[in-house]
Amino acid sequence: MTFVMVEVDSTLFKKKFNHKFIKMNNSGNTLLAIIAGSAIGAALGILYAPDKGENTRKLIADQAAATRDNFTESAIDLKNRVATRVSDERETLDTRVESLVSDLSYKTEDVISTLEKKLAELKSKNKKLQKTV
């Protein structure tokens, strides 16, 4: 078994460790500054608000209710438009299918008539051939 001695420069280790600590400390300071700024902004907003808190809360609640009502109306309107569109498309499809079936029925009748005429012609030719034999 071989042992290797490694010498570590303690100043380099301390610099790297302190650098990471400073980065973490800066992140913590930034977060703390954001929280403090938000709290100060909220406090100043309340202090300099042009209306009473009760009135402001009522205004916010009214706006939220109006937004909810608008959203509900929009959702109902969208549902009705989709239902109407589906119904219209269903009627259009039904009309197309009926038209296709009707066209096929007429064409089938034409084909049957043509086949009956050909059959009659063939029977006639067959009779003529049997008489000559």
Task: Give the residue ranges of the chain where pLDDT is below 50.
Answer: 1-8, 12-13, 17, 20-24
Instruction: Report DSSP letters for 41-85, one per residue.
Output: HHHHHHHT-SS-HHHHHHHHHHHHHHHHHHHHHHHHHHHHHHHHH
> How high is the pLDDT of residue 31?
72
> How high is the pLDDT of residue 3?
46
> How high is the pLDDT of residue 5?
46
> How high is the pLDDT of residue 68?
85
- Residue pLDDT, tens place only, 101-132: 888 888 888 889 999 999 999 998 888 888 77
Spell out the residues 6+ positions from residue 59 whose beta carbon is closer than 8 angstroms to its own: 51
> How high is the pLDDT of residue 115?
92
> How high is the pLDDT of residue 119?
93
